[in-house]
Amino acid sequence: MSRPASSASLGSSTPKRTAAKTDRPETRTSLVAPVHSEAQPDVEQTLKLILSRLEDMKAEDVVTIDLRGRSAVSDYMVIVTGRSNRHVGAIAETVARSLKDIGVKKIRIEGMPNCDWVLIDSGDVVVHVFRPEVREFYNLERLWIQNTATAKTV
């Protein structure tokens, strides 16, 4: 009894398949997000975006403190209140996502697991998002407003 011929024994009558076909144009898409060659937005654009997002998210008691010339850490500090832990987290996520979308690099976020007090550091603008009781306890604006005469409530 004879055994059936294997593809190796068929010789050159069966064409070999290659890993990539050369008769088709390359159609692969990159999974990596495009790199923006634009420079980071200026501090005024960043502040305007943050304030807009805070308004969209119904953040309460928004205070902007101008730190230019008074602090080497940042140019502005924004202090806001969220109604609950969930609201604080949602505000922080929305602001951080918006900053990334406009090209702000190196955003640091702290406090997301508990969402009592979330700090978003974008370099030029630092945002503190508090629950009401926590904001009242730490009273950051009192510390900074005493040292700066240019705080404004939005």
Residue 142 forms part of a structural domain: yes
The answer to whether position 130 is within a domain reads yes
Does residue 69 belong to any structural domain of this protein?
Answer: yes
Q: What is the model's pTM? A: 0.69
- Give a yes or no: residue 61 inside a domain: yes
Q: Residue 108 falls within a domain, yes or no?
A: yes
What DSSP letter does each residue of 5-46 carry, written as one string? PPTTTTGGGSPPPPSS-SSS-------SPPPP-SPPPPHHHH
d(CA 28, CA 134): 50
Q: Per-residue pLDDT tens for 21-54?
A: 445 444 444 344 444 445 667 899 999 999 999 9
- What's the structural domain count of the chain? 1
Summarize pLDDT for 6-24 with one digit per residue, the tens: 444 444 455 555 445 445 4
| Within-domain flag for 27 | no
For position 91, which CATH number holds? 3.30.460.10
Contact in structure between 114 and 85 (CB atoms under 8 Å):
yes
Strand-pair partners of 153: 63
Q: Which residues span the domain enclosing 93?
A: 43-153
